[in-house]
A and B are shown apart, each in its own frame.
Chain A
Amino acid sequence: MKRINIITGHYGSGKTEIAINMALKLKEQHDNVVICDMDIVNPYFRTNDAKEFLEQKGIRVIAPDYASTNIDIPVLPGDILSVFTDKSCYAVLDLGGDDDGAVALGQYHRYLKDEDYDMYYVLNALRPDTSNIDDIKALAANIEYMSRAKITGLINNTNLSYLSEPKHLADSMEFADKAAKALDVELKYITGTGEMLSALPDKAKAFELELFMKLPFDALA
């Protein structure tokens, strides 16, 4: 994985779960790992919700003063600059959904343009607004325009929440390949729980997720 890993895509596609898991994976290989919650759109189900857990794992969490604070307007913390100035750190930047969320990255263009980064577009083919190639292309173009950054890879995270079946992911592979081709990028990872990944014929790109965003009626909550 590269030093800077940016997670973008349609809202509700699983960006935050992937960002958290990617930070954990980076931590296995590097000492200095930071995750930035750059979501300026969505007040619920955020990276910051897993802050305590991530910090226990030795991962630095940078989050905006927004949800669950007394500030109603999201402000990106100055700390985010440290991702670009401290070249020894490995970072995951979790953007908000759609182009509305990707806009938060734009102001860092002057730093990002000299970096070798990856920006992953997360796809859930069972999200109705990204279930055809034209919509995906349009959204990806808007995200690139607003973020002033280039999408470099696709992550297929197709799932149906608690009704997910392994075949949902396996059946979406053909579509995910098409989407990657349409965006002119490589399909980098296929993500899901261990069970979801079990039906994949080719597991070379499989990336197993542990899920952190829990609903309040989950028995363990």
Chain B
Amino acid sequence: MGNKVLMKGNEALAEAAIRAGCKHFFGYPITPQTEVSAYMAKKMPKIGGVFLQAESEVAAINMVYGAGGAGARVMTSSSSPGISLKQEGISYIAGADVPCVIINIVRGGPGLGGIQPAQSDYYQAVKGGGHGDYHLVVLAPSSIQEMVDLTADAFDIGDKYRCPVMIMGDGMLGQMMEPVEFKDTDTASLPEKDWATTGTDMKRKKNIINSLFIEPKDLEDLVLARQKKYDEIEANEVRYETEDIEDADIILVAYGTTARIAKTAMSKAKAKGLKVGIIRPITLWPFPYEAFEKALADGKKKTFLAVEMSMGQMVDDVKIAVNGRADVDFFGRTGGIVPTPNEILNKIEEIAGGDK
């Protein structure tokens, strides 16, 4: 059986963070991610770490800002309404180039919404929920094992580029149980945090963590420098998975739990003789445009079908990627309803039928 154990998504995320060296967690409970906080509350005291249930999500994200500024590997976790509350802090963290990891286990919205799975926070995560010229690196696992692996990567990416990283799962991923294995991770190649506010010992100049720059020239210079960093991330950190995109007439585009449902639908469609492939973005920002170039390389007529647990948010990025070179269609359920493989299959058949 190797070293596999059975874990719930939320607790696996928390354990993966601890193993990645996260010793500081600030959060506030909210369904369906509460087990992250509960797990941290139980484990942090045992490893000499800090778990703090803040008075609100706003307080928690600002504690993350402080701990991250002092160079700690720090994480916070919430679900949709709580992530909305954190947006000011996230913008400050991005504006001060502070690394941290933010978990969003998405539930139905808007408003308090519901407590069942959703993907309707895509715009918020990818298009900037907070103000200003900034990006979050957004990682979208589709299994508990990938949640574990991407958590380690999230801390590394954050430290490497000095930026906040979000892991966006849906309620299903947070709540379901799957076998996982924890692998040893290596952080030796990461740059030293010589910018962190760790105390000068009167031996060096003060480090300052700040996002306020009144002089327009200073602020523009900083934003431009940060943009270079974003260019680097776009060049180095794009991740995606494709299956059978060569020769496909219909290419599904889906992430997270939805990608797994879409794959089941894809197998069913293939059994009926349809040529179907899939692109699964793993990084939602940077978006994997490259996968679409590969899929479009043969110049043949085809349709991209975005499947989401929302009214259609990622589909906008699919349209940007396709840029008029193919048809783009959409199927989604929302409000906490998870699409079934058969619903997606019906949509695939509708598209295939329309081509005749």
Contacts and interface: CB of A to CB of B under 8 A. Distances in A.
B115 A67 contact: yes
A165 B338 contact: no
B115 A43 contact: yes
Given A43-B175, A44-B175, A165-B1, A159 B6 contact: yes
Interface string B238-264: 000000000000000000010011011
Contacts of B7: 12, 127-128
B334 to A, nearest CB: 15
A68 B113 CA distance: 11
B18 to A, nearest CB: 12
B170 to A, nearest CB: 10
B340 A221 contact: yes
Interface residue range, chain B: 20 to 34
A212 interface: no
Contacts of A219: 264, 267-268, 341
Contacts of A128: 5, 7, 15
Given A126-B6, A128-B7, A215 B176 contact: yes
Contacts of A11: 8, 35
B1 A12 contact: no
Main secondary structure of the interface of A (DSSP, over half): loop
B31 interface: yes
B172 A216 contact: yes
Contacts of A67: 115-116
A36 to B, nearest CB: 21
A45 B340 CA distance: 16
B278 to A, nearest CB: 13
A160 B261 contact: no
Contacts of B267: 219
A219 B264 CA distance: 6
A161 interface: yes
Nearest to A160: B179
B341 A163 contact: no
A72 B81 CA distance: 14
A125 to B, nearest CB: 10
Contacts of B15: 128
Contacts of B341: 217, 219, 221
A42 B4 CA distance: 24
A44 B5 contact: no
Given A216-B338, A217-B257, A219-B268, A45 B176 contact: yes
Interface of B: 1, 4-8, 11, 15, 31-32, 35, 38, 112, 115-116, 171-172, 175-179, 257, 260-261, 263-264, 267-268, 336, 338-341
25 contacts: A12-B7, A43-B32, A43-B116, A44-B116, A44-B171, A45-B175, A45-B176, A72-B112, A72-B115, A124-B6, A126-B1, A126-B4, A127-B7, A128-B7, A131-B5, A160-B4, A165-B1, A167-B1, A215-B172, A216-B172, A216-B261, A216-B339, A216-B340, A217-B261, A217-B263
Across the A-B interface, the 10 shortest Cβ-Cβ residue pairs: A44-B175, A217-B260, A216-B338, A163-B179, A128-B5, A217-B261, A160-B179, A217-B264, A126-B6, A43-B115
Given A12-B177, A45-B176, 4 more contacts: A44-B175, A160-B6, A161-B6, A216-B261
